């Protein structure tokens, strides 16, 4: 349910949002890893749904998506996995997906399955403000949040419009580019984020390109939380699962 998302950002510290490519490297290990990430301090899990054509993702998530798909990941299996995780953990979970996957079995039916599994919201990467009218009724009916993205290229007037309808949290994209690991935090971050937080009725998390505890802390100081994806996914792709869990633990410690 969408109200659960606020619990990621009201724990007395900045929220740590962890993106995982669901089903990577395979469904079983992915489920175990997500549990370990939660126990290591992740405050919200983005279940990345692998897509054959991930247009907004960099090399790391493209590769992890391919691995997950070739090992049999599908959206119905990912929703089943979320339902099992929900029985063990109250931690907020959202699906992070391209729109076509959500349409394949009928959008409303997919939203109903998500709600039943205990998923709290959807982030649809390729569904901008212009097209949300077609998904809102189903999301409202099942009380799921639609997490909106705001980019450094989003003009102020447009950002105000997006924020006005926001629920769950706002995902602020910190860089002009696709997902991936980068060495520096963007320069104009403070200005954009502080303006956005004043406008937003919901928490704001900063993401894209954040890979170290230092970057997470630097980005989160102007926001309500930080999103880390590729840095964790890359370790899993390299078979360094213990290191991935340790990275989540040190990211959490950095935000505490």
Partner 1 sequence: MPRHYGIYGGQYVAETLMPALNELDRTYQALKNDPGFRAEMNGYLRDYIGRESPLFFAERLTEYAGGARIYLKREDLNHTGAHKVNNTIGQALIARRMGKKCLIAETGAGMHGVATATVAALFGMECEVFMGAEDIRRQAPNVQRMEVLGTKVTAVHSGSSTLKDAMNEALRQWIARVDDTLYVIGTVAGPHPYPEMVADFQSVISREARAQILEKTGRLPDEVIACVGGGSNAIGMFKHFIPDASVRLTGVEAGGSGLETGKHAASICGGRTGVLHGCKTYLLQDEFGQIIETHSVSAGLDYPGVGPEHSYLHDSGRVSYKTINDVEALEAFDLLCRREGIIPALESAHALAQGLKSAAAMSKDQSIIICLSGRGDKDMQNVCEVKQKLFGKVTS
Note the residues at the interface with partner 1 (CB under 8 A): 51-58, 62, 69, 74-76, 98-105, 125-131, 148-155, 158, 162, 173, 176-178
Q: How far is the CB of 74 from partner 1 (least distance, A)?
A: 5
Q: How far is the CB of 205 from partner 1 (least distance, A)?
A: 14
Nearer of residues 40 and 79 to partner 1, judged by Cβ: 79
Nearer of residues 2 and 148 to partner 1, judged by Cβ: 148
Q: How far is the CB of 89 from partner 1 (least distance, A)?
A: 26
Distance separating alpha carbons of residues 103 and 65, to the nearest angstrom:
18
Nearer of residues 7 and 129 to partner 1, judged by Cβ: 129
H runs (alpha helix) in 43-132? 59-70, 75-88, 99-103, 107-117
C-alpha atoms less than 13 angstroms from C-alpha of 150 in its C-beta half-sphere: 29
Q: How far is the CB of 62 from partner 1 (least distance, A)?
A: 6
Q: Going by DSSP bridges, is the β-strand pair 44-48/15-21 parallel, antiparallel, or unpaired? A: parallel
- Is 57 marked active-site? yes
Nearer of residues 16 and 49 to partner 1, judged by Cβ: 49
If we measure between CA atoms, which residue out of 250, 172, 178 comes closest to residue 214? 250
Nearer of residues 102 and 252 to partner 1, judged by Cβ: 102
Selected catalytic residue, list 57, 120, 167, 224: 57
Nearer of residues 54 and 203 to partner 1, judged by Cβ: 54
Q: How far is the CB of 119 from partner 1 (least distance, A)?
A: 17
- For every residue of the chain, DSSP letters joined together read -GGGGGGGS-SSS-EEEEEEETTSS-HHHHHHHHHHHHHTT-SEEEEEPP-S--TT--HHHHHHHHHHHHTT--HHHHHHHHHHHHHH----EEEEE-HHHHHTT-HHHHHHHHHHHT--EEEETT--GGGGGGTHHHHHHTT-EEPEEE-TTS-HHHHHHHHHT--S-EEEE-SSS-S-B-SS--TTHHHHHHHHHHH-SS-EEEESB--SHHHHHHHHTTSSEEEE-HHHHHHHHTT-HHHHHHHHHHHHHHH-
Selected catalytic residue, list 28, 29, 36, 46: 46
Q: How far is the CB of 4 from partner 1 (least distance, A)?
A: 24
Q: Which residues are catalytic?
A: 46, 57
């Amino acid at each position: 349910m969408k109200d659960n998302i606020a619990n990621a950002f009201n724990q007395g510290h900045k929220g740590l949002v962890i993106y995982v490519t669901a089903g990577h490297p395979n469904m079983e290990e992915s489920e175990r890893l997500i549990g370990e990430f939660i126990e290591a301090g992740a405050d919200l899990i983005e279940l990345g749904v692998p897509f054959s054509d991930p247009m907004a993702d960099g090399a790391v998530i493209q590769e992890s998506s391919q691995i997950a798909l070739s090992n049999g990941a599908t959206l119905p299996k990912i929703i089943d996995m979320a339902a099992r995780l929900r029985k063990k953990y109250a931690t907020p979970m959202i699906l992070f997906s391209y729109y076509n996957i959500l349409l394949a079995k009928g959008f409303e039916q997919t939203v109903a399955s998500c709600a039943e599994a205990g998923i709290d919201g959807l982030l649809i990467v390729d569904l901008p403000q212009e097209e949300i009218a077609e998904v809102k009724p189903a999301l409202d009916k099942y009380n799921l949040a639609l997490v909106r993205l705001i980019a450094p290229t989003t003009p102020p007037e447009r950002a105000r419009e997006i924020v006005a309808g926001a629920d769950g949290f706002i995902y602020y994209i910190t860089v002009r580019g696709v997902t991936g690991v980068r060495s520096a935090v963007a320069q104009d971050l403070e200005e954009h984020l502080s303006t956005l937080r004043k406008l937003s009725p919901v928490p704001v998390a900063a993401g894209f390109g954040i890979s170290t505890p230092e970057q997470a802390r630097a980005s989160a100081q102007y926001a309500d939380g930080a999103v880390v994806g590729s840095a964790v996914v890359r370790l899993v792709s390299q078979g360094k699962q213990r290191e991935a869990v340790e990275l989540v633990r040190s990211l959490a410690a950095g935000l505490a």
